[in-house]
Amino acid sequence: MEDNISDKLELVRQKCLHCNKCSLCQTRTNIVFSGGVPNPKLMLIGEAPGYYEDQKGVPFVGKAGQLLDKILGCVGFSRERDIYICNTLKCRPPENRDPLPEEKAACREYLDAQVELLKPRIILLCGRVAVNSFIDTKLGITKLRGKWFEGPYYSKMMPIFHPSYLLRNDSREKGSPKWQMWQDIKEVRRVYDQLS
Ligand code: URA
């Protein structure tokens, strides 16, 4: 990873720290810019920070985040080494409501800058909100998950279930959302291992 890219990402984070482009700046405790490491091979984009993320300034640290770490760990990915994690919104929507279109629009420049600087080879779109930010479709996540799409900068993008959806669907039986997630993450690992 070029120092240069980390430095440039840090400049974007600094800008984000003082952002007041939408009203979420009035209710946030911290901005949640990114987690993991800036590995240009693998990036995950979630929806928006929740309560714990807002408190800590780190993405995916609540229950859903713990499950996400487990899922990544099943195929040997770790936050400390392999993956750059961010969200479509850098600030928490009150009561964890869905991001509003104007909030997504206001925050988009930060997400676009993260993608442009990192130029990840694989982008995981985690949940409906992230999927709709990159793929123009009426199909739901259950139809899209596990499929590869062409992403920005010649990346491969895959929609995956959001871990909070998996927390609400506990079955591990063949065909269940958890089982499907297992298939998807194995496929991600397979393609990752083929990257030069
Ligand atoms: N859900 C998300 O989409 N992102 C987080 O950072 C936490 C929960």
Mapped onto helix, strand or coil, the DSSP state of residue 19 is coil
> Residue 1 — very low, low, confident or very high, per pLDDT cuts 50/70/90?
low
pLDDT cut 90: percent of the chain above it: 97
> Residue 59 — very low, low, confident or very high, per pLDDT cuts 50/70/90?
very high
Ligand 1: distance of its center to the CA of 35 in Å? 11
Residue 182 has pLDDT above 70, yes or no: yes
Q: Write out the two tokens for 99.
A: 């991001």
* Residue in 44, 45, 53 to alter for ligand 1 test, most ligand atoms within 8 A of Cβ: 53
Q: Write out the two tokens for 193.
A: 């291992």
Task: List, chain by chain if needed, residues with CB within 6 Å of any ligand 1 atom.
Answer: 32, 46-50, 53, 59-60, 64-65, 87
The burial class, CB within 10 Å (0-12 / 13-18 / 19+), for 72 is buried
Nearest to 1 by CA among 135, 101, 117, 149: 117
pLDDT, tens digit, 9 for 90 and up, residues 13-22: 999 999 999 9
Q: Name the architecture of domain 2-190.
A: 3-Layer(aba) Sandwich (3.40)
Q: What is the pLDDT of residue 3?
A: 73
Ligand 1: distance of its center to the CA of 47 in Å? 5
pLDDT, tens digit, 9 for 90 and up, residues 61-79: 999 999 999 999 999 999 9
Nearest to 147 by CA among 161, 162, 129, 164: 161
Domain boundaries, the chain: 2-190
What's the chain's average pLDDT?
A: 97
Ligand 1: distance of its center to the CA of 45 in Å? 9
Cα 14 from Cα 93, distance rounded (Å):
20
Q: Which atom of ligand 1 is nearest to the CA of 162?
A: 3
Overall pTM > 0.95: yes
Ligand 1: distance of its center to the CA of 106 in Å? 18
